[in-house]
Structure 1
Amino acid sequence: VLEDIAGKVVTTEGEIPAAKGIEPNAPNPFNASILIRFQLSAAGSVRVRIYNALGQVMCDLVEGEYAAGHYAVSWDGRIRNGAEAASGMYFYVLETEQGIWPRRMLFLRRYLLQLRKGGGRL
């Protein structure tokens, strides 16, 4: 069963693997939103945070108690105050009672992608 934080449930074939942690994000780099998937082999406290390259917390995506299973949450590139994050490297970190799993992602604001596609200089 794959359940996103908004409560949508999609069933999938097979057993939940014994492994736990965070899965590769997609797409990467991204410009509108990115899907972050993680799995838990046991119930417990979960937190997923977004950090900038300086280690500052930009956004708290997930915080609470979760059952064992697969989950997915999307980040729209907005930070705590609602503003759009600057283009650059960000890290998302899954924290559970079993461990901490970091991953990196590259956020490119829409106008930068348009310049690249149009042959403009950055």
Structure 2
Amino acid sequence: YDIAFGDLDTILVDLGVESGANATIYHRVIASDGSDESSSDTRSATLERGTLTSNENGGLDSPTRFSLDQNYPNPFNPSTKISFSLEKAAPTQLVVYNMLGQKVATLVNERLNAGEHTFNFKADNLSSGIYIYRLQSASQSITKRMTLIK
């Protein structure tokens, strides 16, 4: 089971962990083929609400850079996924423009936690063509192109 980095904050809130407080989580992997079962050793990670501060190897699992991935699939019809990484929590905008520079969709306009994020862009009401999507967070910005084919 995979838990997205941003989902950890939600889990900690649901468990009543106060903002800025630490919590230690324990996990292990159990694999089964239906007749035999195998499990890994139990591992731990110390979390500060909103940020992974360390794991048992002393490493960090949070993104180390601000990045915007190419949408997938590309070309697309009628929807595509846009993924990006934030190195720190910040007000974030993900906006789609047509080639005339007109805004056609706002996918994100809120404060997001550090980590990996993926949003689905549905272009049912748009015509075929090239579109620009722009990620802005804090003082950083990245722009990429995508192609809608109907």
TM-score (norm 1): 0.72
Say whether the 8 Å CA contact 1:22–1:37 is kept in structure 2: yes
TM-score, length of structure 2 as denominator length: 0.59
- 2:83 corresponds in structure 1 to 37
Q: Using CA pairs under 8 Å that are at least 6 residues apart, name the structure with larger relative contact order, 1 or 2.
A: 1
- Identify the residue that residue 102 of structure 1 maps to in structure 2: 143
Q: What amino acid is aligned across from residue 72 of structure 1 in structure 2? A: T
1:32 positional shift: 1.7
Q: CA deviation at 1:3?
A: 5.2
Structure 1: gaps (5+ residues): 8-13, 79-83, 110-122
- The answer to whether the 8 A contact 1:3-1:72 is kept is no
Aligned residue-pair number: 96
Which amino acid is 2:131 matched to? Y
Question: What is the RMSD computed on CA atoms of the aligned residues?
Answer: 1.9
Describe how 1:1-122 pairs up with structure 2 within 5 A. 1=4, 15-78=61-124, 84-109=125-150
> C-alpha separation between the residues in 2 aligned to 1:2 and 1:32?
28
- Seq. identity, %: 30
Amino acid at match of 2:109: E
